[in-house]
A and B are shown apart, each in its own frame.
Chain A
Amino acid sequence: MKNILLLFAILTLSVFGLQAQNGAYEKGMGKAFELWTQNKTTEASALFERIAVAEKDNWMPYYYAANVLISSSFSTTDKVKRNEMLKKSKELLKEAHDASPDNSEIVTLEGLLYTAYVAMEPETYAMQYSAKVAGLHERAIKLNPKNPRAQLNKVEWEIGTARFFGQELNTFCGAIDKAKPLFENQDDSVPFAPSYGAERITSLKNECGCE
């Protein structure tokens, strides 16, 4: 009896201990997301990176560290800084890719990285990267056709091109709507797995003048 009790206690405690460690990951990630929401991008990216270095085999902290930098690069005015942010994101994405090759989410974000280059200096990068961006979107969709971010980023990129040429945008309404069920049916079993972006549907539909 005593032995069984002891065994039981040890078992419980070790599970407890494991959870405590896992808790640190969750706490850390949670804190990083919180910083990101508060627009403390430097801190958020730094924290994601710290977690990434500690959890080398996990692609997500690298993915988010890069994501913070790429997303905030669009509103950064200092071009040198902006360039450095994208350069750093490229390195982080490479680490993410090493941890999880052929990952649709990472490839989607890579598409956003080169979109950021084009947005920064269209005269220099539009010709060089346009096709690359389109190719990355294709690949991301091929890797996971149910990835709503890949689908939506592709449409968004095409809307940008059409706008440049002054074309009708409401032809994209159908394509935007297609992402909706994909967002609703996302697998949310893995904590922190990317599931964001559904709100873009509404804003894109507004931009395109959809009903």
Chain B
Amino acid sequence: MQIKYFLASLVIVLYSFGLNAQTDISGIVTEKSGVPIIGANVFIVGSYDGTTTDVDGSFSFNTTEEGIQVLSVSYLGYQSKELKTEVNEMKNLKITLRESANSLDAVEITASTFKAGDNSKVAVLKPLDMVTTAGSMGDVIAAIQSLPGTQQNPDDGRLFVRGGDARETKIFIDGMRVFSPYTRTFSGTPSRGRYSPFLFKGVSFSTGGYDAEFGQALSGVLDMNTIDEPKQTESNISLMSAGLGLSHTKKWDRSSLSFSGSYIDLTPYYWLMPTRLDFNTPYKGFSGELVHRYKTNKGLVKTYIAGDISRVGVNSENLDTAIYQEVDIDNRNLYINSTYSTTLSDRHSAKIGMSHGYNKDHLEVDEFLLDTDFDGYHFKGAFKTIINDFVVLNYGAEYFWQEDRLSKGTNDTNFFSSNIDRHLPTAFSSIDYFFSKDLALKLGARYEFNSLLNSNEINPRLTLAYKVGQNAQVSAAAGVYNQELDSEFLEDPSVQRNEKSSHFLLNYNYKTDKSIFRLEGYYKSYSDLVSYQRGFNFEPTQIANEGEGRAYGVDVFYRANNVVKYVDFWVSYSYLNNQRKYLDYPEFAAPSFSTNHNLSLIGKKWFPKLNSQLGVTYSLASGRPYDDPHTSDFMTERSGWFKNLSMSWAYLISQQKILFVSVSNVPRFKNEFGYRYSTMPDVNGQYRSEQIRPNDDQFFFVGFFVTISQDKTKNQLDQL
């Protein structure tokens, strides 16, 4: 009897020790080309049985599992594979893994886009550059102008892309339209971007060939992405030569709230520094910002509200009357932007958002008043569906509603007023198709309707990208773009079409760990641009869509970081040939804002012993076209070359205190931008003229920044 028990227990013991038959599993893991994959993880799912592949890609192990099992094969950067079959059949397996198209060194389908920030592989500009580039004075737009494809118009300050005027580049925050991105100034004093660079974690700047998600822009798109999560609860104080700023951020587990306010008054500055302008009110303004971020379980809600009020007034000479006029501008601006981005499932994600912009300009020229105000709304829903590792679908719809109001008069009478209201429903869709990790295609289309023109537009977009080597890729893009006319002409009954452009470009990109080289050639053609004649009082008449134009050029960019220790520098060069016959041009000519050659050299060097960073920016641009009415030729005159050398010095007094000094045009180059002329000749047939000079030859900026936080290691270094 005892023996019987003993035998029974033995059987059970043996069973539990798993002395049942072991099965050998073997095979080889390779790439499609046959190259073995070393170190791939091969195992039976749910068991401990498995191994990693050898130097020849082979594997073999045994398992106690029986029947139908799942064999999993995975390796970093490759698509995992699962094989479900009888364990007895898992012998001499030949498994090929495909490189994952979303792996980090896969081809990128962006032809003409410069990205700055976290997730971009092509980090042409880093988040810090937006603030540490010498001469940019904390202006995002000024930092973007160090990239090729932009033409420098230092007396204007706005973005001019590849021969297009400033209106042709649209600016977005988190994919939502910004309706009045620039501060209001007088001609000769550059505008700045309205929004603080500290808000953004990155930007994506496209100088052509952008995809179907973006429209209403003939030349360029700048999309700035706000920070998702602030660093910590902290307060910042800035004392600057031009004013002061305060900000505070409070951070909770899931949400955060930041507010900041600044007051700028240039009165003391101009009391010290000479300027060509005869101010009666030097620029003064108050601006405030509020940012709220809330993390939901699967998404993020961001709300951003910014408002500012400013006033500036000068006395300027009217060339026609030779009389000095008092000109005052009051500006009020409000911008609200709210987005919700979320993942719906592993393969679906959505982003919805709205933005609202309100801008009011009140201009007084002696007793004459000009009031322009503007309301713009943008609603957007964008979706992304990952069909598989090789096919991604992006689609969505937008709705724009814009209203421009204008009134001219004096305090007593109203001469003229208008109100232009229009609605633009749009829809867009694109498909990313990866033929392999090295070859990809993006095909898209955008539809737009304009209620004022009753126009329908369908714009096709195409990008093709091919990886030609470990570090190099070639891409080509083409697309059709349209944009509504300037509101000044929109209501004219003879205007029935949107302005159009077509882009063709070819790009070569070479990137290593420490350097990036880009070369891009492009050709653009314009049609349906607004055209008109000058009437007897110089007002536009015979307004039509008969303007056309073409532009071609080459952009070159090179950036090297730490090739020389502690030195980071980049070089941008753009060649542009731009010819247009539009507005009141009698013939094809290069517009005044387009320069043939533009060069920027930017360098930064960190001196660890001095706790300091030196920044140097050198810019050069060929002469700007202007028209001399004394000659019979049109727009054939050229101003002198523009030269500027700016330097900045950031000194970390301690981790919480920073001193920053920046000086523009250190050698005091005498820059000029051609001449402006009176509209009518005098009795001798001579036009009165005035050379266009920058209002300030040089600008000084001194700032002292203090951070107050619990964590004493944080500072405002990244704010410089």
- Please report A residues at the B interface, Cβ cutoff 8 Å: 2, 5-6, 9-10, 13-14, 16-17, 20, 24-25, 28, 42-43, 46-47, 49-51, 53-54, 79-81, 83-85, 87-88, 123-125, 127-128, 130-132, 134-135, 158, 161-162, 165-167
Nearest CB in chain A: distance from B194 CB, A: 22
Bound Cα distance from A25 to B652, whole angstroms: 53
- The answer to whether residues A13 and B9 also contact, given A79-B513, A84-B103 and a CB cut-off of 8 A, is yes
Which A residues are CB-close (under 8 A) to B713? 134, 158, 161-162
| Residue in chain A with minimal CB distance to B8 | A9
Which A residues are CB-close (under 8 A) to B655? 161, 165, 167
B77 touches A80 (CB 8 A): yes
Please report which residues of chain B, range 10-47, place their CB below 8 angstroms from some CB of chain A when the two chains form the complex: 12-13, 16-18, 39, 41, 43, 45-47
Contact of A43 among B48, B52, B126, B230 (CB under 8 A): B52
A135 touches B231 (CB 8 A): yes
Is B702 an interface residue when CB atoms closer than 8 A count as contact? Answer: no
A134 touches B231 (CB 8 A): yes
Please report which residues of chain B, range 648-662, place their CB below 8 angstroms from some CB of chain A when the two chains form the complex: 652, 654-655
B118 touches A124 (CB 8 A): yes
A85 touches B16 (CB 8 A): no
As a 0/1 sequence over residues 95 to 112 of chain B, the CB contacts with chain A under 8 angstroms (1 = contact) are 000000001110000000
The 10 tightest CB contacts between A and B, nearest first, are A131-B231, A17-B16, A46-B41, A42-B39, A84-B76, A50-B43, A161-B713, A28-B48, A127-B718, A83-B104
Bound Cα distance from A25 to B251, whole angstroms: 42
B127 touches A128 (CB 8 A): yes
A53 touches B72 (CB 8 A): yes
As a 0/1 sequence over residues 115 to 128 of chain B, the CB contacts with chain A under 8 angstroms (1 = contact) are 00110000100111
A9 touches B5 (CB 8 A): yes
SS class, residues of chain B in contact with chain A? loop
* Additional pairs, 12, CB under 8 Å, beyond known A123-B126, A161-B655: A6-B5, A9-B8, A46-B39, A53-B45, A54-B45, A123-B128, A125-B118, A127-B126, A127-B128, A134-B711, A135-B231, A165-B654
B16 touches A131 (CB 8 A): no
Is B248 an interface residue when CB atoms closer than 8 A count as contact? Answer: no
Contact of B126 among A6, A49, A124, A130 (CB under 8 A): A124
B17 touches A20 (CB 8 A): yes
Cβ contacts A to B, 28 pairs, < 8 Å = A9-B5, A20-B18, A25-B48, A46-B39, A46-B41, A46-B50, A50-B43, A50-B49, A51-B48, A53-B46, A53-B72, A54-B46, A54-B48, A80-B103, A84-B77, A123-B123, A123-B568, A125-B118, A127-B128, A127-B718, A128-B117, A128-B118, A132-B231, A134-B711, A161-B655, A165-B611, A165-B652, A165-B655
| Residue in chain B with minimal CB distance to A28 | B48
Nearest CB in chain A: distance from B482 CB, A: 36
Which A residues are CB-close (under 8 A) to B13? 13, 16
| Residue in chain A with minimal CB distance to B652 | A165
Nearest CB in chain A: distance from B11 CB, A: 10
| Residue in chain B with minimal CB distance to A80 | B105
Nearest CB in chain A: distance from B66 CB, A: 16
Which A residues are CB-close (under 8 A) to B155? none
Which A residues are CB-close (under 8 A) to B714? 130-131, 134
- The answer to whether residues A46 and B711 also contact, given A17-B16, A84-B103, A131-B230 and a CB cut-off of 8 A, is no
- The answer to whether residues A87 and B128 also contact, given A53-B72, A54-B48 and a CB cut-off of 8 A, is no
Bound Cα distance from A187 to B320, whole angstroms: 89
Bound Cα distance from A150 to B262, whole angstroms: 39
Contact of A81 among B76, B123, B229 (CB under 8 A): B76
Bound Cα distance from A42 to B47, whole angstroms: 19
Which A residues are CB-close (under 8 A) to B16? 13-14, 16-17, 20
Is B676 an interface residue when CB atoms closer than 8 A count as contact? Answer: no
Nearest CB in chain A: distance from B714 CB, A: 7
Which B residues are CB-close (under 8 A) to A6? 5
Nearest CB in chain B: distance from A66 CB, A: 13
Which A residues are CB-close (under 8 A) to B8? 9
Which A residues are CB-close (under 8 A) to B46? 53-54
B50 touches A50 (CB 8 A): yes
A9 touches B76 (CB 8 A): no
Which B residues are CB-close (under 8 A) to A83? 104
Is B1 an interface residue when CB atoms closer than 8 A count as contact? Answer: yes
Bound Cα distance from A88 to B513, whole angstroms: 21
| Residue in chain B with minimal CB distance to A125 | B118
Bound Cα distance from A122 to B659, whole angstroms: 22
Is B201 an interface residue when CB atoms closer than 8 A count as contact? Answer: yes
Nearest CB in chain B: distance from A86 CB, A: 10
Which A residues are CB-close (under 8 A) to B117? 128
Bound Cα distance from A166 to B128, whole angstroms: 21
Which B residues are CB-close (under 8 A) to A130? 231, 714
Is B235 an interface residue when CB atoms closer than 8 A count as contact? Answer: no
Interface centre among A79, A123, A134, A158 (most CB of B within 10 A): A123
A50 touches B77 (CB 8 A): no
